[in-house]
Chains A and B, each alone.
Chain A
Amino acid sequence: MKISVKLGGVLLAAALSTTAFHGAFAQEDTIKIGVLHSLSGTMAISETTLKDAMLMLVEEQNKKGGVLGKQIEAVVVDPASDWPLFAEKARQLISQDKVAAVFGCWTSSSRKSVLPVFEELNSILFYPVQYEGEESSRNIFYTGAAPNQQAIPAVDYLMETEGVERWVLAGTDYVYPQTTNKILKAYLMSKGVAEDDIMINYTPFGHSDWQTIVTDIKNFGSAGKKTAVVSTINGDANVPFYKELANQGVKAEDIPVVAFSVGEEELAGLDTAPLVGHLAAWNYFQSVDSEANAEFIEQWHAFTGNDKRVTNDPMEAAYIGFNAWVKAVEAAGTTDTDAVLDTIIGVTVPNLSGGYATVMPNHHITKPVLIGEIQADGQFEVVQETPAVVGDEWSDYLPDSKDLIADWRKPMECGNFNVATGKCGGKGS
């Protein structure tokens, strides 16, 4: 038994030292920000890039003299693609490392898991990934696309310029695709698309055998009407999906596939020659032609020391979020959460596609929607660009959320104000 007593002591010490340890890092004259991206586990494939991007942005900012005359120090932790661990790490960053703001998360699950922590400890999270919407927290800024900034414009493009009449909504079986497809279905039917001209198909995470589904798509598309696929397939499963598309000879001219989660990163794992013409809808493409972008790509290649590393949309979202935060902090003259929350609304910073992004009162931002066609070199070529669209947190196409709006400015300060009942707090009963 003596053993376990001793060990018990050791453990307590060890665990406590985790806290002590971080204390040790802190030099007093820096402003700390947290970087909360998985560096191991299933999500590392996507999130590690964002971690690097954040480190680069911090480095660049520090070259410009940091913020409030202090250097910025990034505290990087690894939540290891484990959602409860996200919450634990967020708590640690905020209450142990005393970071001024946190940049992180990729999956909605991880965001949902940290949301209560940020609200409880009143800190700020910048979330850089496109997501299903239906959320607006006082302490979170959603710098990625809401469905109306990605899905709906893409569908419009296909309808108008490609005259698509028949739709396959294929997605991984989780919340983002399910919600997006619900919205799309409602939208399509509002545009007079018949129910049986819509085929919805879900696959498990990391699905790698696409033979049947691609065949189904071909068959569905051979009914004489122009058909397109709207893909909300999640990262890992995309490569085998596109490989199967290519091999079964599904040509973009016949059945174009438009994807919402396939960017330069995903294409990097593919030979895109057979995929030319398939589409993606984002708010940024590496191929966008603007000084800001050219400079950003240059910095990125220099920072990673690898000029093959691609940039992608979430990186731009991180870029916008970070700059917006810096600007807000400068304006507020402090990193105090409440002050920053006040000043950041309305802050406008340049985005990478040559325009500007404004932080809206609903904590989403304005973004242009870019439709791009895959090119043989693994890049996208923009075939349509809309003017900046305001992120719509509560979709107008879901019965229960069409009456809701979010406005975090005083006096309303509400994330789910119901315009029908004029009350804060959802449907209100």
Chain B
Amino acid sequence: MTTIAETRSKSLLYLENVSVSFDGFKALNALSFVVEPGELRAIIGPNGAGKTTMMDIITGKTRPDTGTVLFEDAIDLTKRDEADIAQLGIGRKFQKPTVFESHTVWDNLELALNRSRGVFATLFYTLTGEDRARIEEILETIRLTHRKDELAANLSHGQKQWLEIGMLLAQEPKLLLVDEPVAGMTDAETAETAILLREIAKTRSVVVVEHDMGFIRDLGVKVTCLAEGSVLAEGSIDFVSSDPKVIENYLGR
């Protein structure tokens, strides 16, 4: 068994006793949660278990009432805002795919590229060969090369999900938070996505929130089950799904 200190120092993301409540309702209740570098982690849990709130806290959208949130054991995320955190290398994909509908696929990726994001830098930015190469590479990864010049608005739901993931890749994050990536996807797309995510996880840590157990099995990774704002069980999918508390709390229904 490793001591807390060690886990902390090894961790990429470290949450301890994080609590937050909205008008009395405890969304997170002394949640502790650790992600190691290069880890692919799945999170399951009933609605209102606090999955999205947790992501909000990690990405600086919500401030916790109490608790520590550390990135790479050094940076206190509770003191930073979204932009900061994103630049630190934490990318986030929303439940509802949010891409820039009125931009082309290409522009979406160009905007996401991890380049200086200052006002004047962007004003006078001109596309370099290297950037072009990078974008094309991502287009390959997310299988959208053939539609790069179309408005994102015209993509199918699944393609939008991928485009969003692609944008996260362009950000070159160390940690990727993915909220329900396969919601509303065809089985084919779902399988594709699983492969895509494992591929991505080779180079960086990924946290996936998902309801789709099948998909989680496809991923075949360590699973954390949240309920009422704290961790219920953690371990392999089979271990977790056999846990009585989990069954009663989540799978049961």
Consider the complex of A and B and state whether they touch directly, i.e. have CB atoms less than 8 Å apart. Answer: no
Using a CB–CB cutoff of 8 Å, the interface residues on chain A facing chain B are none
Binding site for A on B (CB under 8 A): none
